[in-house]
Structure 1
Amino acid sequence: MKIKTIILICGILPIATWAKTPLILLSIDGFAQHYIERYQPKTILSLIKQGTSAKALLPVYPSKTFPNHVSIITGRYPINHGILHNEFYHRDLGKVYQVGAGKDEPHWLTAEPLWHINEAQGNISAVYFWPESETPVNNKMPSYYYPYQHFTENQVRLQQIINWLRLPEDTRPNFISAYFASIDDAGHSYGEDSIQLRNAIKEFDQLLADFIQLLHQEFANQVNLVIVSDHGMTKINLEHVINWRDQIPQGVTVVNGSTQLYLYSEDKAQLQQSLEQFKQGQFQGQNKRYNVYTFPNYPEHWHLNQEHAAVPDAIIDALPSYIFSKGQGAVDPATHGYDPRLSAALNAIFIAVGPAFAPNQVINAFENIQVLPILTRALGLKDLDNIDGNYKIAEQIVKTN
């Protein structure tokens, strides 16, 4: 575990700073909203009854892991936090982004995550994995964090949260976030109808039950717990794999995100030639396979119609259940990444329980850029004016002092 030295200067930080109720944010990657009804996870259903939940948490475009996790933790759309996809090209940096690249090149990330916002207001943050949590912001890292190790057991992650809460008050984090990938892994590898996915959900739900029991025993319910996911999951038709490479002339850079092709080119004639070929191949029989869009005429809800070094000149956007061939390996039976407005199967979850949240309340679906304002209000932080989210949802569900 990477631990930053914490220096407390007497008189600078008021006692009330450390007396705030701790808040834990858990992200269950790939946990679709429809899994709740389909698989009936007992612990999650119990939490829904106890606290506030949303009918759905709506992903930002594209419904990929990294842009959505960073939107959740910054309250910004991808164009404003910098992580536009799991893979994309940046003209100014002259590089293709790969997941986790911020730890070596901090300029990829252009908005502050909550762990830094929290510490800037005199508190302590801890992170047990989160997309881009290893990216320094102004040369700073959260007080406690772990470099990402995909196969670290979920139980180990949850136990460390308990260990952090057991720390003395002057070194204990008031904000803790943690990330879990096992359900996303099962969904990708085995599909939504698989026993493997059912077992992954059941196993995590039981670990969550044990974790909550410890919270109750040791901290007398004086902990706020927020559970989110980044996106849902939808089936792939294994016959719907699009071979596209012969449609790209020289002079056009393509980044293949599986559900999107991002096209970049300074040669407008070459780009147009490629787009004409894509338009000719849009249909497979009567079935439309994808949409072709060019900057600055992207759908408004994508929030990509402004000049930015990473925004592509054109996007070939696959329709569910099509994907663009990666040219190697087997095709997953389920995936995500599509425009979230095209399928409710991509909806994610939001559940909040604890002293800060109203009990037994279900609210309408909302976009995940609204999560950050909820968290800052629950943490007692100052309201932020440099985010894309607002405080309307927070005012519905976070109790006032």
Structure 2
Amino acid sequence: MKSILVVLDGLNFQVARDAMGYLQAQCAAGRGRLYQLECELPSLSRPLYECILTGVTPVLSGIVHNHVDRLSTGQSIFHYARDAGLTTAAAAYHWVSELYNRTPFDPARDRHTDDKSLAIQHGHFYYDDAYPDSHLFDDAESLRLKHHPDFLLIHPMNIDDAGHKFGLDSMQYRNKARVADGILSHYLGTWLDEGYQVIVTADHGMNNDRSHGGILAEERQVPMFVFGSAFSLQQAEPLQTELCGTVCQLLNVSHDKPHCADLLA
């Protein structure tokens, strides 16, 4: 089944639970469910992009901080899907391109990507943390409409950016979560009606020091909303390391990663 993975960078679980009224309405209507995940350590972005997309913890992947700017040595969802003859796409921060396509990131070459030999075959990549989430979701939808990818990653940054500027307990941070929820309200219904399986999660949370990276609950507890006919919507305790394998199960591609069977119907 075609699948969309939305990674809302830096979104803390409690803020997602309390501020994302549209996603919660979908859950209340029986079209989805919210689970709580605990992110792996360190609770930093690039290490956790790698964890989400390959199922490997940072200490094992070697991507242990944000400045490890090399290609991943692991097999990601993009690799499994491409190797199975499926189409992949991403609208994401440029670190994702550096992990799975080419590094270092060259904006003139890599910002807009169309190359079926790459792991991420079709991409729009940005490098400014303030790049508007509205534009990023539009970038993603343009990829979906043009290329009909089997797997699409959507990765906006404004929630994390607000957290670094104003902290967890700020109206700016909460309001960016509300904005993302509103943007998703424009797209999610169409995606579901067209048969997509959708996961909305985060890499890590945020603290009141305007940072993350440690073991505090507010840094590690992140949401995982699931929507679509392939999900059981039953009790489950998914791990962040199971996201890669779970998406591969949805895509029906061969893989060697752990997955959360309880999530699936």
Q: Does 1:203 align with 2:179?
A: yes
Q: Does 1:127 align with 2:90?
A: yes
* Higher Rg: 1
Hey, which bits of structure 1, 4+ residues long, moved more than 6 A?
A: none
Q: Does 1:140 align with 2:118?
A: yes
SS at match of 1:234: coil
Partners of 1:116 and 1:137 within 8 A in 2: no
Query: Equivalent of 1:376, from 248, 257, 264?
Result: 248
Compared with structure 1, are the counterparts of its residues 191 and 344 closer, same or farther at alpha carbon in structure 2 (3 Å cutoff)?
A: closer
Q: Does 1:356 align with 2:230?
A: yes
Identity of aligned residues (%): 21
Query: Equivalent of 1:78, from 44, 48, 58?
Result: 58
Q: Does 1:115 align with 2:94?
A: no
Compared with structure 1, are the counterparts of its residues 31 and 362 closer, same or farther at alpha carbon in structure 2 (3 Å cutoff)?
A: farther
Q: Does 1:61 align with 2:37?
A: no
Cα shift readout 1:73-126 (whole Å, capped 9, x = no counterpart): 001112332311224xxxxxxxxx3xxx23xxx3xx221221121101110100
Q: How does 1:122-271 map to 2 (within 5 A)?
A: 122-130=85-93, 131-136=95-100, 140-150=118-128, 151-167=130-146, 171-215=147-191, 220-236=193-209
Q: Under a length normalisation based on structure 1, what TM-score does the superposition of the two structures give?
A: 0.57
Instruction: For structure 1, list consecutive stretches of 5 or more residues without a partner in the other structure.
Output: 1-20, 88-96, 237-333
Which one has a larger percent helix, Structure 1 or Structure 2? 2
Residue 24 of structure 1 corresponds to which residue in structure 2?
Answer: 4
Partners of 2:198 and 2:226 within 8 A in 1: yes
Cα shift readout 1:302-325 (whole Å, capped 9, x = no counterpart): xxxxxxxxxxxxxxxxxxxxxxxx
Shift of 1:177: 0.2
| CA–CA separation in structure 2 for the residues paired with 1:383 and 1:116 | 10
Cα shift readout 1:100-155 (whole Å, capped 9, x = no counterpart): x23xxx3xx22122112110111010011153323456983421012333243222
Compared with structure 1, are the counterparts of its residues 32 and 362 closer, same or farther at alpha carbon in structure 2 (3 Å cutoff)?
A: farther
Q: Under a length normalisation based on structure 2, what TM-score does the superposition of the two structures give?
A: 0.84
Shift of 1:28: 0.4
Shift of 1:344: 5.0
Partners of 1:64 and 1:336 within 8 A in 2: yes
Residue 398 of structure 1 corresponds to which residue in structure 2?
Answer: 264
How many residues are matched?
Answer: 247
Residue 338 of structure 1 corresponds to which residue in structure 2?
Answer: 214
Q: Which moved more, 1:132-141 or 1:145-154?
A: 132-141
Partners of 1:52 and 1:362 within 8 A in 2: no
